[in-house]
């Protein structure tokens, strides 16, 4: 199963950036760009095998938020 950190790292232009981001840090403030955020959201949808809701999308701001989404729906 894919962890939130792995899912995010696979969708960053510079995967090493994630090494300096804590679980609760705001991804955009830490340097993740909007294109990468779109790829992260799409990867969540593929992992969950469903579209994420607008509410879920707006909450995808940190590693912890991605993990919470994956955990609440049976991912890891």
Query: What is the C-alpha to C-alpha distance for residues 47 and 75, in angstroms, rounded to an integer?
Result: 8
In this prediction, residue 72 carries a pLDDT of 78
Model confidence at 32, pLDDT cuts 50, 70, 90, reads: very high
User: Could you tell me the residue ranges of all domains in the chain?
Assistant: 4-72
Per-residue pLDDT, averaged over 62-72, amounts to 94
CATH superfamily of 4-72: ACP-like (1.10.1200.10)
> What residues contact 51, with CB distance under 8 A and at least 6 apart?
45
Model confidence at 51, pLDDT cuts 50, 70, 90, reads: very high
Q: Which percentage of the chain shows pLDDT scores above 90? A: 91
Backbone angles phi, psi at 3, to 5 degrees: -85, 160
> What residues contact 71, with CB distance under 8 A and at least 6 apart?
none
């Amino acid at each position: 199963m894919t962890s939130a950190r792995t899912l995010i790292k696979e969708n960053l232009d510079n995967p090493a950036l994630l090494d300096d981001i804590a679980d609760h840090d705001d991804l955009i403030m830490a340097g993740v760009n909007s294109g990468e955020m779109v790829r992260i959201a799409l990867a969540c949808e593929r992992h969950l095998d469903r579209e994420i809701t607008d509410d879920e999308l707006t909450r995808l701001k940190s590693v912890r938020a991605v993990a919470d989404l994956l955990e609440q729906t049976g991912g890891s």
